[in-house]
Amino acid sequence: MNQVLSRRSALRKITGGTAALAAVASLSPRLRAADDAARPKLKGNIRPSACAWCYGSLFKPGKDKPAQMTFEDFCRECYKLGLESVELLGPEDWPTLRKVGLICAMCHGPDNIPYGWNRVDHHEKLLSGFEKAIPQVAEFGFPNIITFSGNRNGMSDEEGLENCVKGLKRLVPIAEKHKVTVCMELLNSKRSHKDYMCDHTAWGVEVCKRVGSERFKLLYDIFHMQIMEGDMIDTIRENYQYIAHYHTGGVPGRHEIDDTQEIYYPAVMRAIVATGFKGFVAQEFVPKGPDPLASLKQCVLICDV
């Protein structure tokens, strides 16, 4: 499966359906006790999350094979691995997360990777979508919602930056009111997302500085920034106050973050912890091993510094 296309298709738009906001049922006491007993004792310095789209092969039927488990079963397995969150999901899935004891640490927004804030003619549609989405996120008590710069399509980075700031300054009062942080994701434009504008930390940090709100920050994707600029530990140390969330992934290929790839994740995690970061680090690698949940467990433990 093409990793880039699967990520894009997984970023479904928030719909605001009433069923998604229904009362959340609880697991039986016996199931909850069993799940709690299975959880590992993590150090707690890194709050672990996982990106649901990476594990869709487990809970979504394929063309020639049935799903291996339900989405609820997948979430319960994540809970038993010690995760606090499964993310990049919309409100139709949030009640299931709450049912098993998880949250969605990074919620879907109404935009997508090529279509973002760098064009003024997008602003009204985006504002309308976020005006609906942010209160929903707040109602569930979740912390963050994702957003994107959009692609360049011939636009200069300075013009795009100015346009993003113009639109985001209109958005942040809504985020501030509801205490939800809007996070613009840093992505690589070299291999995965050709022409994406927010592809360097310095550009994203400048947007944050000009917007000037604690409710607008960056989603620092370690995989993407290794490809674009490297120098991650010093970059994180110098800019941590503008980062609300982190994603992982092995380079090359966005697979397991083990010794088959070039990033030494324990050192990166220690640098993140040293900044006083209290947010989430989400595993966003595409498992290539035979047991995706075993890979997830291994990578959570690698980051448990």
Residue scoring higher pLDDT (8 or 40): 40
- Judge whether residue 191 has pLDDT over 50: yes
Residue scoring higher pLDDT (238 or 31): 238
- Judge whether residue 9 has pLDDT over 90: no
Query: Band of the pLDDT at 28, cuts 50, 70, 90?
Result: confident
Task: Give me the residue spans of the domains in the chain.
Answer: 3-12+49-302
- Judge whether residue 277 has pLDDT over 80: yes
Average pLDDT over residues 22-50: 79
- Judge whether residue 3 has pLDDT over 80: no
Q: By CB neighbour count within 10 A (0-12 exposed, 13-18 middle, 19+ buried), where does 107 fall?
A: buried
- Judge whether residue 22 has pLDDT over 80: no
The confidence score (pLDDT) of residue 141 equals 97
- Judge whether residue 23 has pLDDT over 80: no
Return the minimum-mean-pLDDT range out of 63-77, 177-191, 269-283.
63-77
Q: Which of 288, 282, 224, 223 is nearest to 255 (CA)?
A: 288
Which residues have CB under 8 Å from 5's CB, separation 6+?
none
| Per-residue model confidence as pLDDT tens digits over 155-183 | 999 999 999 999 999 999 999 999 999 99
- Judge whether residue 233 has pLDDT over 60: yes
DSSP letter (8 states) at residue 186:
P
Cβ neighbours, 10 Å, residue 7: 20
DSSP state string for 1-59: --HHHHHHHH-PPP---GGGGSPPPPPPHHHHHHHHHHS----SSSEEEEEGGGGHHHH
Average pLDDT over residues 254-262: 97
- Judge whether residue 26 has pLDDT over 70: no
| Per-residue model confidence as pLDDT tens digits over 79-112 | 999 999 999 999 999 999 999 999 999 999 999 9
- Judge whether residue 12 has pLDDT over 60: no
Strand segments (E) across 253-294: 280-283
- Judge whether residue 137 has pLDDT over 60: yes
Average pLDDT of the chain, as a whole number: 91
Looking at domain 3-12+49-302, its CATH architecture is Alpha-Beta Barrel (3.20)
How far, in Å, CA of 40 to CA of 142, rounded? 24
